[in-house]
């Protein structure tokens, strides 16, 4: 899917092409965004900016913004992706088609837990509506681009390994897991799906990266310290060493 097997996880309002290019030599993939696509998601993002003093990408035309940002990474030595939020499926199709033009990954956001986004039908609300989430995946997959779904553990009432299996069957290529404080769930997800599993949360060094790889993750992603080249260098070295040792043992 990408090498080295370390990705930069999206940070709302911060993860643009310049962010990715600044550390492009340390990662195999970079997920830009997240970006709100439809009116409900964009209204929710505006509320978050107003009420929570958070950064959000709110360009006049989100699709033109995606195209512009991905074009800036066309010659980058990493695979770009774009994390998107939508309360309906059709905007995801349009965004996925843009990603396909740039050999980028579309990442469906079933992860954000802010009440504004959940009330709009976005983010982790989708984990409780697996039928709708799978529709998003099938809709995006029809464009021919690779599809990732960003999920999180510890959502009440959600059997995440079962959901991951359904996403795989719907056409997801990547399941990007924010493990929260339930790191062991990564092993259950890896057992449940043939999709490429990217593990996220607290990845900072050799110990934290290797823990996820030993659980069966195919790659890891770095969140908040994604602009810290020293952290990324440590994680990349750990990941490459782990896979090199695994290849020798096999």
Q: pLDDT for 57-67, tens place per residue?
A: 999 999 999 99
pLDDT at 201 over 80: yes
Rounded CA separation 47/153 (Å): 25
The reported pLDDT for the residue numbered 145 is 98
In this prediction, residue 21 has a pLDDT band, given cuts at 50, 70 and 90, of very high
User: 205-243 pLDDT, tens per residue?
Assistant: 999 999 999 999 999 999 999 999 999 999 999 999 999
In this prediction, residue 130 has a pLDDT band, given cuts at 50, 70 and 90, of very high
pLDDT at 247 over 80: no
pTM, 2 dp: 0.97
The reported pLDDT for the residue numbered 71 is 98
pLDDT at 116 over 90: yes
The reported pLDDT for the residue numbered 107 is 98
- Burial code (b: 16+ CB inside 10 Å, e: under 16) for 160-178 equals bbebbbbbbebbbbbbbbb
| H-helix or E-strand spanning residue 176 | strand 174-178
Q: Quote the Cα angle for 79-121-192, to 5°.
A: 55
For residue 184, the tally of other CB atoms under 10 A from its CB is 10
pLDDT at 249 over 80: no
Q: How many CA atoms, within 13 angstroms, populate the side-chain half-sphere of residue 227? A: 11
Rounded CA separation 234/141 (Å): 34
Rounded CA separation 230/137 (Å): 35
pLDDT at 128 over 70: yes
In this prediction, residue 52 has a pLDDT band, given cuts at 50, 70 and 90, of confident
Q: How many CA atoms, within 13 angstroms, populate the side-chain half-sphere of residue 133? A: 30
- When the pLDDT of each residue in the chain is averaged and rounded to a whole number, the result is 96
Mean pLDDT calculated for residue range 68-86:
98
In this prediction, residue 250 has a pLDDT band, given cuts at 50, 70 and 90, of low
């Amino acid at each position: 899917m990408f090498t080295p097997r370390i990705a930069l996880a999206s940070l709302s309002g911060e993860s643009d092409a310049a962010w990715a290019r600044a550390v492009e030599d340390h990662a195999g993939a970079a997920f830009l965004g997240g970006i709100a696509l439809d009116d409900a998601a964009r209204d929710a993002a505006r509320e978050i900016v107003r009420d929570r003093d958070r950064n959000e990408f709110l360009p006049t035309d989100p699709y033109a913004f995606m195209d512009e940002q991905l074009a800036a990474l066309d010659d980058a030595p990493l695979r770009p992706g774009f994390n998107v939020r939508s309360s309906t499926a059709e905007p995801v199709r349009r965004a996925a088609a843009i990603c396909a033009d740039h050999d980028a990954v579309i990442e469906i956001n079933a992860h954000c837990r802010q009440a504004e986004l959940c009330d709009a039908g976005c983010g982790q609300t989708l984990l409780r509506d697996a039928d709708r989430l799978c529709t998003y995946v099938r809709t995006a997959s029809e464009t021919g681009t690779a599809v990732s779904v960003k999920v999180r553990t510890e959502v009440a009432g959600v059997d995440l390994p079962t959901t991951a299996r359904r996403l795989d069957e719907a056409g997801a290529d990547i399941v990007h897991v924010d493990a929260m404080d339930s790191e062991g769930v990564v092993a259950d997800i890896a057992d449940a799906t043939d999709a490429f599993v990217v593990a996220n949360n607290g990845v900072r060094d050799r110990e934290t990266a290797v823990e996820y790889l030993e659980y069966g993750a195919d790659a890891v992603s770095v969140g908040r310290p994604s602009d810290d080249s020293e952290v990324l260098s440590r994680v990349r070295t750990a990941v490459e060493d782990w896979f090199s040792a695994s290849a020798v043992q096999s």
